[in-house]
Amino acid sequence: MFGLGFTEILVIGVIALLVVGPKQLPDLARQAARLLNELKRATEEISSTLKETKQEAQEAILKTRRIDEAGKCRRRRNN
């Protein structure tokens, strides 16, 4: 997780325990978990929006190409 090993996580936990205190540490952990979940949801939402936008752009490009190709075919027939 974030390139941290067990030892680093343990040191961070001990420091957090000393700074925040044993009574407030569970609440802090819950708030951190909620924040991470919200960030994950936001990231997934942004990712899906980008995928949808990419798909729509690709469809628009293909539609434009078809129109251009149809126009070229008409011009060839008229000549």
Is residue 10 one of the residues assigned to a domain?
A: no
Q: What is the pTM of this model?
A: 0.57
Q: Which amino acid is at 56?
A: E
What digits encode the pLDDT tens for the residues 12-70? 889 988 998 889 989 988 998 999 999 999 999 999 999 999 999 999 888 888 777 77
Is residue 41 one of the residues assigned to a domain?
A: no
Indicate the number of domains in the chain. Answer: 1
Is residue 65 one of the residues assigned to a domain?
A: yes
Is residue 19 one of the residues assigned to a domain?
A: no
Is residue 23 one of the residues assigned to a domain?
A: no
Domain holding 76, by residue range, is: 54-79
Q: What three-state secondary structure class fits 75?
A: helix
Gyration radius (Cα) of the chain, Å: 27
Is residue 66 one of the residues assigned to a domain?
A: yes
Is residue 74 one of the residues assigned to a domain?
A: yes
Is residue 38 one of the residues assigned to a domain?
A: no
